[in-house]
Structure 1
Amino acid sequence: MSSPVSATPWRHLPADLAAAMRPQLPDTVAAVAGAVTEATPAFAGIADDKFTRDVHTAVQVALDRFLDLVGTGEPALPPRFREVFVGLGAAEAREDRGPEALLAALRMAARLLLRTASRSLARLRPVEPEELIDLSDAVSAYIAELAAASTDGYALQLREQAGEGDRRRHLAELLLRGDGLPSAELAGGLVGPAPGPVFVDDHLVALTLRGEQRALAVLTERRLAPLSQLRPAQRENLLGTLYAWLRHWGSRAEVATELFVHPQTVSYRLKRLRELYGDDLDDPAARFELLVVLTGQLATSIRKASGTSA
């Protein structure tokens, strides 16, 4: 039987994996860096040497660290490694790009890492099915840690930018309040010269991460609408499953472990969620919005519980 899923699944990886991969690490880094850039539309058109170097550095750090983790129970990202990916997320926010492109690039990196690791082992010896399962669990958990660090960096940068002045917050308030757009001159003064039309629907996630509660309310109503007709208990079960599934990058085993339910129960709930959400569950932007909404709901529940207990 395969080893149970744990918080550090890389401890179950075979010791010879790192030895198999390290000789070809420079070529692997170059291939992964090139592939994630070319396959991500938002990145493919960036003709900037610094961006290329940053991507290469991030891939180098990620693969080096993954190989260091093989066979250990260490946490995925000690502070100095985590800062690299926090910085990546912050850079996306500074460039006014959404987090979806970076998350899509990480998913691509996960597939390439799993493929490269599997082939490297196969060149040494026959690979058991259980080893591939362990490898898949380890890669999924590791990339989820990179995504979490990047998302934290993105959110932190947005909060910093929001604190630089009141111009953008004031514009968001005008838009969300429903009083209509400010005049050609006023809008220009708020967002800079010749901003063009601004549609709040295009910026709900960014506004939410800046702390705009009304943006969160609109986003929550929109994203949870497919569940609105369900019974409360059924709705809560599906929301909990969806939140765990998003955070664990679709790993049913990890979702089942977190929720203390049978994997078949997870499969049934996910089937129901797909009936309700359709292709949205495969859309990186929609998935990120759902994650933001469900995280916001969790924070609200914690605050309410704290107030009640007090």
Structure 2
Amino acid sequence: MTHPTSPAGTRRTAGHRLQLPAAAVAEMRARLPVVADATVAAILEEVPGYEGALTGSMGENIRNAVQLALGGFLSLASGRRGADPRTPAAPAVEGAYQLGRGEARSGRTTEALLAAYRVGARVSWRQMSTTAVEVGVPAQTLADFAELVFAYIDELSAASVAGHADELATTGRVRQRLLDRVTRQLLQGAPAETVRGSAERAGWEPPTTLTAVLVPEAQLRPVLAGLSTRTLVARDLTELEDHAVLLVPDAHERRRPALLRTLLGRGAVAGPARPWLEVHGSFERVLRARALDILDDTETHLAELVLRADPEALADLRAQALAPLATLRPAAAEKLTDTLRSWLLHHGRREDVAAELFVHPQTVRYRMGQLRELYGDRLDDPAQVLALTIALGADRA
């Protein structure tokens, strides 16, 4: 099998002209298990990332890969071409590719993998060159032999690195799909057990709280740079053109100011922190805020969000509560409306009302007399006062 990212099509060993004597190849092949064991032992001893890795199934996989690689090399050095026009070592290159994928799954880095190849090249060259000298291989042939060894190791290294990269890319895509599922379920308010199962499959450790944040797509990269790497991201939502939703973990209480500083000046809307399985409520809050053109921190706009949650109901309430003023001339109605609003919000403190309206306290007294004539005892009714406060307070929200 040839992989798009593997170096199968550009092998430096494909056109080599070395052909070791049959006796040398036979002797090396006979000693192959010993060379393989020495190579594995050296890797175990010299490459820190492999301590304890050469036992069990992983150890067997590496031993098999070493023997396959050495066997492929001997076939190459003997001059056998086989059916593959590029190199008879194709199975070894494929084995190296799969080894790279396995090492990525095991969590080892390419640095550890390449170090293992360097050690393996040195040990196997020392063992095989000793055998070559013993059977009388000429010096020039030995030099060509050395060149082929290291070109071959380069090919195997490249194949393993390609396998490692492909595995990481595949794993990353799979995990991202799983994380996307968790995000969708949280935004949709899916059942708790469903979301917990999806989070476990994605390897995502749930936080204590999540905070929904609406961010313009153009600002997504800089915002994410300032947030936890565990932040979940939802993009391309049909109801949010040119915006993404972030679910930020544990940005509550004393950590919230840091979140707000990250969002400052970026046209974002931050909802409230909620227990992670209840973040759907935070998401709904930012959607309502966006519909009302509210930006930044929704926690500083709670009164406005409440008062404007149902515009039609608010309009009906205002019409009902202010009905006694409907018969007045517009200018007079406006003055009394302003006075009544200030009187309600200042709890009847005449001096404060006068200061806000830039009028004399006696003017306030006069106007309140007019309002009491219009409203009668209703200004002493708590329910009516509440209705008036909401109706008139909405203008200040």
- 1:105 matched residue in structure 2: 116
Match of 2:49 among 42, 45, 48: 42
Match of 1:140 among 124, 147, 150: 150
Within-5 A mapping of 1:140-289: 140-166=150-176, 177=222, 179-183=224-228, 186=231
- 1:253 matched residue in structure 2: none
Q: TM-score, normalised by structure 2?
A: 0.40
- Kindly provide the amino acid, as one letter, of the partner of residue 114 in structure 1: W
Residue 129 of structure 1: how far off its partner (Å)? 2.5
Q: Considering fraction of residues, name the structure with more strand.
A: 2
What runs of 5+ residues in structure 2 fail to find an aligned partner? 1-11, 184-203, 205-216, 233-245, 250-397
- Kindly provide the amino acid, as one letter, of the partner of residue 148 in structure 2: A
Give the direction of change, closer, same or farther, for the CA distance of 1:144–1:123 in structure 2 (3 Å limit).
same
In structure 2, how many angstroms separate the alpha carbons of the residues matched to 1:97 and 1:58?
Answer: 16
In structure 1, how many angstroms separate the alpha carbons of the residues matched to 2:162 and 2:224?
Answer: 33
Is 1:31 aligned with 2:38?
A: yes
CA RMSD of aligned residues (A): 3.5
- 1:82 matched residue in structure 2: 93
- 1:63 matched residue in structure 2: 70
Q: TM-score, normalised by structure 1?
A: 0.51
Partner SS for 2:174: coil
In structure 2, how many angstroms separate the alpha carbons of the residues matched to 1:175 and 1:40?
Answer: 41
Residue 14 of structure 1: how far off its partner (Å)? 3.5
Residue 61 of structure 1: how far off its partner (Å)? 0.6
In structure 2, how many angstroms separate the alpha carbons of the residues matched to 1:66 and 1:184?
Answer: 44
Match of 1:120 among 125, 131, 141: 131
In structure 1, how many angstroms separate the alpha carbons of the residues matched to 2:56 and 2:220?
Answer: 37
Residue deviations 1:4-52 (CA, integer Å, cap 9, x gap): x964336343433212212222212111111122211100243741121
Residue deviations 1:46-67 (CA, integer Å, cap 9, x gap): 3741121111111111111111
- Kindly provide the amino acid, as one letter, of the partner of residue 162 in structure 2: D
What runs of 5+ residues in structure 1 fail to find an aligned partner? 193-310
- Kindly provide the amino acid, as one letter, of the partner of residue 158 in structure 2: A
In structure 1, how many angstroms separate the alpha carbons of the residues matched to 2:165 and 2:172?
Answer: 11
Give the direction of change, closer, same or farther, for the CA distance of 1:9–1:183 in structure 2 (3 Å limit).
closer
Give the direction of change, closer, same or farther, for the CA distance of 1:133–1:176 in structure 2 (3 Å limit).
farther
State whether residues 132 and 142 of structure 2, in contact with CA within 8 Å, keep that contact through their aligned partners in structure 1: no
- Kindly provide the amino acid, as one letter, of the partner of residue 13 in structure 1: L
State whether residues 93 and 156 of structure 2, in contact with CA within 8 Å, keep that contact through their aligned partners in structure 1: yes
Give the direction of change, closer, same or farther, for the CA distance of 1:181–1:143 in structure 2 (3 Å limit).
same
State whether residues 10 and 71 of structure 1, in contact with CA within 8 Å, keep that contact through their aligned partners in structure 2: no
State whether residues 20 and 77 of structure 2, in contact with CA within 8 Å, keep that contact through their aligned partners in structure 1: yes
- 1:91 matched residue in structure 2: 102
Q: Give aligned-pair identity as a percent.
A: 32
State whether residues 77 and 145 of structure 2, in contact with CA within 8 Å, keep that contact through their aligned partners in structure 1: no
Give the direction of change, closer, same or farther, for the CA distance of 1:15–1:179 in structure 2 (3 Å limit).
same
In structure 1, how many angstroms separate the alpha carbons of the residues matched to 2:29 and 2:60?
Answer: 21
In structure 1, how many angstroms separate the alpha carbons of the residues matched to 2:36 and 2:27?
Answer: 15
In structure 2, how many angstroms separate the alpha carbons of the residues matched to 1:185 and 1:141?
Answer: 42
In structure 1, how many angstroms separate the alpha carbons of the residues matched to 2:68 and 2:13?
Answer: 23
Residue deviations 1:52-108 (CA, integer Å, cap 9, x gap): 111111111111111112232634465543332111111121122211111111111
